[in-house]
């Protein structure tokens, strides 16, 4: 791996930023840890080095969230990994400056509306420059996209139904705020190649193939798989449901109901201030780093076509740690010149999805792939 520093994490002092930094260090990739506050970045680097077990090749740089301060940093690198959210509120200067400075852009958003917005506004511009625009390079919503690609190996499949099931989830403060603003707004699935809105209070009993009882699920944020497949000629229909730890479900439902009663009628800026305040109330500080032994997860991708159905069940444990892994692996592949499709893409279509799943299986995160043609 080159010693040239061509990767920058913006928002590196946060929970997910530190995990991505550790994953980059494990791959021997030099990087910048960027953010607004020197002291927080220094503390974050100490934590990363403690977890890593030694020094990491990271340089701390500071910049406020505006183009004038970001530009001198982005001009030094080829890849920007943005971890500063909620993204619809904060990320516009980051993605715009990345495009201006000819940088590949990835982020860890879970916000469907942000993904739709930058796809429409910047997807073609990134493609024209041969650059990757990959929001949601994270457990949510790249894991489901990887599983969906396996289902779509059968050419008869034109519809994909995805379920995320998570045990012992530990949402970070940033994730809580990001997703609260999503579940309190419009959330879309794909039906006959068009977006359709879920009912705001959708809560369904769901059967997953390896559990003896039904579990309650949400269309949590709408997901990004319907966005990835919006203009994909292979897919007509796509929906995503999420099964959180069941002890969290009533609290999430109550938060949504509170929003609908107290803030639904407000202007957008005030609505988002309301959901940010709810996130502050729910925050319990930064959780410990998750582990494959505790934070276990399964992605179920079901495919349907006119004459065929199939299903792929993929274990994928430790969602936050895996978010660091997929972000770092994408950076590694970009540095190696392995981008297959530029522009607005999920990692599952920008690179070889089977190669990615195999890599993460070898690292202990995912189950093994079925043989091609065996489903």
Residue 200 is predicted with a pLDDT of 75
Q: How far apart are CA 358 and CA 119, in angstroms?
A: 28
Residue 1 is predicted with a pLDDT of 47
Q: Buried b vs exposed e over 158-185: b needs ≥16 C-beta within 10 Å? A: bbbbbbbbbeebbbbbbbbbbbbbbbbb
Ramachandran assignment for 159, one of left (phi > 0), alpha (psi -120 to 50 degrees), beta (any other): beta
Residue 168 is predicted with a pLDDT of 82
Q: Which two tokens stand for residue 92?
A: 């516009």
> Of the CATH numbers 3.40.50.720, 3.30.70.520, 3.40.640.10, 1.25.40.80, which one belongs to the domain with range 7-138+319-362?
3.40.50.720
Instruction: State the architecture of 148-315 in CATH terms.
Output: 2-Layer Sandwich (3.30)
Show the beta-strand stretches assigned E in 83-149.
104-107, 132-134
Which residue numbers in the chain have pLDDT < 70? 1-3, 170-184, 282-285
Q: How far apart are CA 88 and CA 81, in angstroms?
A: 16
Contact 100, 67 (CB under 8 A): yes
pLDDT tens string 94-116: 999 999 999 999 999 999 999 99
Contact 98, 127 (CB under 8 A): no
Domain regions of the chain by residue span: 7-138+319-362, 148-315
Whole-model pTM over 0.85: yes
Q: How far apart are CA 288 and CA 244, in angstroms?
A: 18
Residue 172 is predicted with a pLDDT of 58
pLDDT tens string 195-242: 999 987 788 999 888 888 999 998 988 999 999 999 999 999 999 999
């Amino acid at each position: 791996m080159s010693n040239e520093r061509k990767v920058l994490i913006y928002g590196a002092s946060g929970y997910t930023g530190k995990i991505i930094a550790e994953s980059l260090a494990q791959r021997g990739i030099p990087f910048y840890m960027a953010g607004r506050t020197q002291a927080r970045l220094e503390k974050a680097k100490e934590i990363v080095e403690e977890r890593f077990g030694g020094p990491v090749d990271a340089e701390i740089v500071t910049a406020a969230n505006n183009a004038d301060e970001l530009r001198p940093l982005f001009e030094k690198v080829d890849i920007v990994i943005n971890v500063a959210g909620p993204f619809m509120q904060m990320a516009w200067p980051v993605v715009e400056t990345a495009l201006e400075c000819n940088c590949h852009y990835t982020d860890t958003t879970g916000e469907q509306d942000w993904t739709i917005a930058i796809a429409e506004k910047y997807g073609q511009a990134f493609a024209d420059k041969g650059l990757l625009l990959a929001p949601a390079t994270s457990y949510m919503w790249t894991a489901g996209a990887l599983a969906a690609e396996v289902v779509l190996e059968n050419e008869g499949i034109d519809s994909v139904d995805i379920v995320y099931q998570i045990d012992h989830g530990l949402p970070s403060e940033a994730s809580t705020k990001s997703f609260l603003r999503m579940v309190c707004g419009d959330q879309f699935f794909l039906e006959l190649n068009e977006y359709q809105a879920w009912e705001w209070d959708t809560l369904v009993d769901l059967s997953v193939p390896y559990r003896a009882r039904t579990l309650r699920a949400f269309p949590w944020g709408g997901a990004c798989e319907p966005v990835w497949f919006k203009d994909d000629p292979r897919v007509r229909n796509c929906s995503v449901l999420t099964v959180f730890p069941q002890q969290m479900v009533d609290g999430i439902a109550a938060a949504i109901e509170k929003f609908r009663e107290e803030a639904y009628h407000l202007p957008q800026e005030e609505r988002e201030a309301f959901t940010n305040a709810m996130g502050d109330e729910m925050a319990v500080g930064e959780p410990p780093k998750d582990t494959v032994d505790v934070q276990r997860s399964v992605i179920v991708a079901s495919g349907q076509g006119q004459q065929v159905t199939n299903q792929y069940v993929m274990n994928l444990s430790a969602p936050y740690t895996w978010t660091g892994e997929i972000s770092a692996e994408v950076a590694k592949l970009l540095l190696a010149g392995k981008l297959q499709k530029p522009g607005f893409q999920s990692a599952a279509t920008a690179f070889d999805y089977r190669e990615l799943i195999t890599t993460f299986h070898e690292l202990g995160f995912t189950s093994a792939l079925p043989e091609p043609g065996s489903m």
